[in-house]
Structure 1
C-alpha cells in the first residue's frame, strides 16, 4: 500500500500538473516545447500481453488540440529493481498512445534513491538506453520568496521537504506558509500534514513553532486555522464519544451544532460537562 508521503507527492502533480513542466525546464534544464494547457491523464498503461502497468501519474502538455509532450511521473521512495523493467514499458506505451514525445520524471525524497534511479537502463537494443530524469533533494529549488511560493505552492512544498535542515529554513518555511495561505483549507492541510510527517523531528518542531508564534511575520489565517480548527475537530469527536459512552441521545440538530462548532474552548467546556450531564440540554446550558 502506498505510504502517506508517496500519495502526498503524487497529489502535488495531480493538483498542479504544470509542476512537471516547471521541474523539467527549471532544475533539469530540459527544453520543454511551447504549450498552452496542461492536463492530467490516466496513469494506466496496459500492454498487449495480460500485464497491467500503472504509472503514478501521467501529465500531457498541449497546444490547441495537439499533444506536444507527455510526462510519466514516478514517486520513488526506495530502490525497486522492478521499476527498471517497467519504466521503459511506460514510455514506449505512452509514446504510442499520445502520439507525441514522452519523458520519464522520477521524484525522490533522498539522494541515495535519486542516485539509484538515475542509473541508465540498458534495454538491450543498440542505442536504446533509458536515462531517467530524476529530481532529488539537491535538484529541488530552494524557495524562499513568498511571492514565488504563492505562484506555485506545490514547488514550495517540495522545497520544504527537501531543505528542512537548510540554513535558510526560516525563509523556506515562511515562503511555504505564505504559499499554503493562497490555497483552499483542505488542500493546504493535506500538504502541511505531509511536510510535518516527513521532516526530521527538530525541523518539524521548528515549523510548528513558526506556525504558532504570535510574532511570526508570515503567520496567516491558514496557520491559525490548521492548529485551532484541528483542535476543535478533536474536541468535537471527544464530546460525541463521551455522550455515546454514557448512552445520552444526540439529535441530528445537536450533532450538527457540535460538529460545526469551531470554538475549541467552548467544545472543551462541553466535554467537561458531558461527564456528569444528564442530557444534551444540560451540556449546552
Structure 2
C-alpha cells in the first residue's frame, strides 16, 4: 500500500515501468523501449547484519538486451545516500551480471542538483569506481498541461504533477490531469490509482487541497473491490514491516493511517482528541472495527461507536 509521499515516485514506475523511457526520451537520452518488465526483489541485504533496501528494482528486457533499473525517491540531501547508491549499483551488477541504471526522482531542484553529483570511489587521481545517477526532478520532467498529451500518458502526467507541486503552473497541471481522469469510468482502476498517487505525492502542499477539490472521492469507492484490496494490503504491510518485538506497533500504524485517510477523504471532521484516540490505539481488533466503520460513518462519533 502506498503510505507516504516518498513511495509515490517509485510506485508510478512499478505501475508503468515504461514511464522512465518516455521521461528520458523527452530529454533526448537514448534508452531502449522496454519489451518486458519484471519486478525483482528490493532486498539487497547480504549475510552481514546490515539491511540494504532499494525502493524499486525492475529488470528490463529490450531489443538491445537486458538491464536493471533501480529507482530511488529522494526528498532531501542525505550524506549517507551516495555510498548506499554505489552499493546498490555494484551489488546488482555482481548479482545479475547485466548493466544497471540508477534513477533518482526528486521533488525539488536543489535536491535534484545534489543527487546529480557523480559518486566516486577514489584515492588521489585514481578512480576505482564512478556511479552516475540519472535524476528526474522539476527542472527536467516535462510540465504536462495539454489534455491530449496527458490522456496519452497518464503516468507521465502524474509524475509531472508530483514533481512540480511547488510550481506556479501546478493549477493548470492538476486541472489537466483531473480532466483526463474524470473521463475514465469511475470504476476504472487507473482512475483510482492515479488519483491516489497524485494526492499522496502532493503531500501537505497547498496543491493537495486543490487536488482534493478537483478529484473528490465518492464514498462508494471505499466499498469497492479496489478499496477492499487496499485495506487488506494495509493490514499485510503492518505485518510485513513489523519486527519481532514491534509487530503489533507496525500493524497498528498501518491501520491507523488507513482510518485517518479514509475519514479525511470522506470529509469527516476530526478533533485533535479524535486523532489522538485513533493514533494512540494499539488494539488491533478495535482498529479493524474502526476501519470498517470509517467507510460508512457520517461522524466521528459513529466511527467510535459512542452514544
State the TM bucket, normalised to the shorter chain: 0.5 to 0.7
Aligned position for 1:55:
54
Aligned position for 2:140:
139
> What's the RMSD between the two structures over aligned residues?
3.8
**Partner-residue secondary structure (3-state), 2:139:** helix
**Structure 1 gap segments, 5+ residues each:** 212-222, 242-257, 277-285
Following superposition, the deviation at residue 36 of structure 1 comes to 1.1
**Structure 2 gap segments, 5+ residues each:** 222-261, 275-292
Inter-CA distance 33–172: structure 2 relative to 1 (3 Å threshold): same
Alignment deviations for residues 9-37 of structure 1 (CA, whole Å, 9 cap, x no partner): 2221222222222233333x332135312
Aligned position for 1:120:
118
TM alignment of 1:1-285, pairs within 5 A: 4-27=4-27, 29-47=28-46, 49-63=48-62, 68-124=66-122, 126=127, 128-164=129-165, 166=167, 168-181=169-182, 182=184, 183-184=188-189, 186-199=192-205, 201=206, 203-209=207-213, 211=214, 223-226=215-218, 233=266
CA distance in 1 between partners of 2:137 and 2:295 (Å): 42
Which 4+ stretches in 1 moved above 6 angstroms? 227-232, 258-261
8 Å CA contact retained: 1:21, 1:32: yes
Alignment deviations for residues 143-192 of structure 1 (CA, whole Å, 9 cap, x no partner): 11223323332221221223345454443112211343445254244224
Following superposition, the deviation at residue 60 of structure 1 comes to 1.7
**Partner-residue secondary structure (3-state), 1:115:** helix
CA distance in 2 between partners of 1:153 and 1:205 (Å): 21
CA distance in 1 between partners of 2:81 and 2:196 (Å): 28
- Higher-Rg structure is 1
Following superposition, the deviation at residue 205 of structure 1 comes to 4.4
- More deviation, 144-153/181-190: 181-190
8 Å CA contact retained: 2:150, 2:176: yes
TM-score calculated relative to the size of structure 1: 0.67
8 Å CA contact retained: 1:144, 1:171: yes
8 Å CA contact retained: 1:152, 1:179: no
TM-score calculated relative to the size of structure 2: 0.63
Following superposition, the deviation at residue 48 of structure 1 comes to 6.0
